[in-house]
Amino acid sequence: MADDTDIPSERISDAEHAVMEALWDKSPLAAAEVCERVCASRDWTMPTVKTLLGRLVAKGAVATEPDGRRFLYSPLIERADYLGSESKRLVERLFGGRAAPLFAHLAESEALSEEDLLEIEAMLKELRR
């Protein structure tokens, strides 16, 4: 896994995250192809997608390469690295850096299914080995 220096220091917004998901699913993509993947579900237009792509490029999360009269966009950060960084940030910010209170909160609010609990138990057994 990459270290935190590979993750942009400026946070990626929820809207930018939707664009990143499209690029993580398939890349490189042109802005029009990103729009095909996200515009309908988010009620966005092409200018919105281009603005978000520009912000992601400025944050160092996305690279561009010319392709004729258009640009192709590719993620510079891996999905797993980003999720790991955001998860760590969440635990640090809301739970004092400890994961146990997070799991306790999820269990108490009934946000964990029986399947989730079984998966967590299996992961903990694997980690102890």
Distance CA 99, CA 91 (A): 6
Q: Give the confidence band of 5 by pLDDT, cuts at 50, 70, 90.
A: very low
- Preceding amide of 28 cis, omega within 30: yes
pTM: 0.76
Residue 10, CA atoms < 13 Å, CB-side half-sphere? 9
Lowest mean pLDDT among 57-66, 74-83, 101-110: 101-110
Rounded alpha-carbon distances, angstroms, from residue 67 to 17, 29, 107: 24, 10, 49
The number of beta carbons lying within 10 Å of the beta carbon of residue 45 is: 11
- Mean pLDDT in residue range 87-97: 87
Q: Boundaries of CATH 1.10.10.10 in the chain?
A: 7-75
pLDDT surpasses 90 at 51: yes
pLDDT band at 105 (very low <50, low <70, confident <90, very high): confident
- Average pLDDT for 83-111: 86
State in words which class domain 7-75 has. Answer: mainly alpha
Mean pLDDT of the chain: 89
According to DSSP, residue 94 is labeled H
Q: Is 68 a residue whose pLDDT tops 60?
A: yes
